[in-house]
């Protein structure tokens, strides 16, 4: 089957392209390269440069496709708090345009990249799929809105099948692919930038949370495990079926524990300071992955903290400027 991967030049999307190709699918990538990298797109994939807001680009990308994995979205929580309209226009508006294109093309299968941010301040940890969804930032609200949009579309489109994957913190690198954002906002690459000497220091945002060491706790999943979950569920979707899964390791690590692991893996004792809390950060997000384990036989095989950090560190040492070449 040919699969369209939206955002396939981005960090997670490019890994999903590789996983889909390795599983025997043909792949088309649609990406406007606003945050993605053309160099990250597997040469075996067909590439369409364009925006979800451009119907001609969407129609061209969907040609011959039988399914879509939808990753294209803005995802920086703090930015969403400062610029909510940007996030609603891109994340929700882009998803509407994609579903309209899928309807025109008769494509009836979708795997949607959602987020644990839809749960907000969960009353109980670990989080299960039926935990009430009450986001506390615009990013989370846009993802929850798209989930509702997909359900409404499925109600109106006979045979439409979808899977919604809500995942937690993603890190690690595989297959020669990596994470390269400008500016970088994710904890693991920021810590490793400090280990590389690209940052004078890093800050822990908030040390007064109601957690054992006062810092936020997150469930980290290796990007290789995450994209395996996407490809696995895609292969299991039957006509009209609806699936929702949390994807994570089922184990939470605090910011301080991740800092310690980055120092341990890199062998560099970089400087760490303390800053105020960031707007929109819940104290803890940890999943219970029982449903996806039991229904798909999926497991987080690469998601030990040290392995995640080691794989990320190896890529960053080889690509200290990300996908930028010395000539570029």
17 lies in the same domain as 163 = yes
158 lies in the same domain as 263 = no
Please write the tens of the pLDDT for every residue from 26-47.
Answer: 999 999 999 999 999 999 999 9
Within 10 A of 159 (CB to CB), how many other CB atoms are there? 12
Q: Which of 247, 262, 288 marks a domain boundary?
A: 247
In a domain, 177, yes or no: no
Quote the domain boundaries for residue 263: 187-218+250-318
Q: Which residues are catalytic?
A: 139
In a domain, 324, yes or no: no
23 lies in the same domain as 77 = yes
Please write the tens of the pLDDT for every residue from 223-252.
Answer: 999 999 999 999 999 999 999 999 999 999
214 lies in the same domain as 228 = no
Burial 67-77 (b: 16+ CB within 10 A, else e): bbbbbbbbbbb
In a domain, 175, yes or no: no
Q: Is the pLDDT of residue 280 over 70?
A: yes
Please write the tens of the pLDDT for every residue from 296-324.
Answer: 999 999 989 999 999 999 999 999 999 97
23 lies in the same domain as 69 = yes
In a domain, 180, yes or no: no
In a domain, 158, yes or no: yes
In a domain, 95, yes or no: yes
56 lies in the same domain as 113 = yes
Number of domains present in the structure of the chain: 2
Please write the tens of the pLDDT for every residue from 85-96.
Answer: 999 999 999 999
Express as a percent the part of the chain with pLDDT over 90.
91
52 lies in the same domain as 69 = yes
259 lies in the same domain as 236 = no
141 lies in the same domain as 212 = no
**For position 205, which CATH number holds?**
3.90.25.10
274, two tokens: 């303390």
Rounded Cα distance between 311 and 299, Å, is: 18
């Amino acid at each position: 089957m040919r699969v369209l991967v939206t955002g396939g030049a981005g960090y997670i999307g490019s890994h999903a392209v590789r996983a889909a190709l390795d599983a025997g699918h043909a792949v088309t990538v649609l990406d406007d390269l606003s945050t993605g990298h053309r160099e990250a797109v597997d040469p075996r994939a067909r590439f369409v440069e364009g925006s979800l807001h451009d119907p001609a680009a969407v129609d061209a990308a969907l040609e011959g496709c039988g399914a879509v994995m939808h990753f294209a979205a803005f995802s920086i929580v703090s930015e969403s708090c400062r610029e909510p309209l940007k996030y609603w226009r891109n994340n929700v508006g882009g998803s509407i345009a994609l579903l309209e294109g899928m309807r025109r093309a008769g494509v009836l299968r979708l795997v949607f990249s959602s987020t644990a941010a839809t749960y907000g301040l969960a009353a109980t940890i670990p989080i299960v799929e039926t935990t009430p969804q009450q986001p506390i930032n615009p990013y989370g609200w846009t993802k929850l809105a798209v989930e509702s949009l997909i359900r409404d579309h499925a109600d109106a489109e006979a045979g439409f099948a979808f899977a919604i994957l809500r995942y937690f913190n993603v890190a690690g690198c595989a297959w020669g692919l990596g994470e390269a954002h400008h500016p970088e906002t994710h904890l693991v690459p920021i810590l490793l930038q400090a280990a590389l000497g690209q940052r004078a220091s890093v800050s822990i945002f908030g040390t007064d949370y109601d957690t054992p060491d006062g810092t936020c706790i997150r469930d980290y999943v290796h990007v290789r495990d995450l994209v395996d979950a996407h490809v696995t569920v895609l292969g299991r979707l039957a006509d009209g079926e609806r699936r929702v899964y949390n994807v994570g390791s089922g184990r939470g690590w605090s910011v301080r524990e991740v800092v310690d692991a980055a120092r341990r893996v890199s062998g560099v004792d970089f400087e760490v300071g303390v800053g105020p809390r960031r707007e929109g950060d819940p104290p803890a997000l940890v999943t219970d992955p029982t449903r996806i384990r039991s229904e798909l036989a999926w497991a987080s095989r690469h998601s030990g903290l040290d392995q995640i950090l080691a794989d990320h560190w190896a890529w960053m040492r080889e690509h200290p400027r990300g996908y930028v070449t010395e000539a570029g």
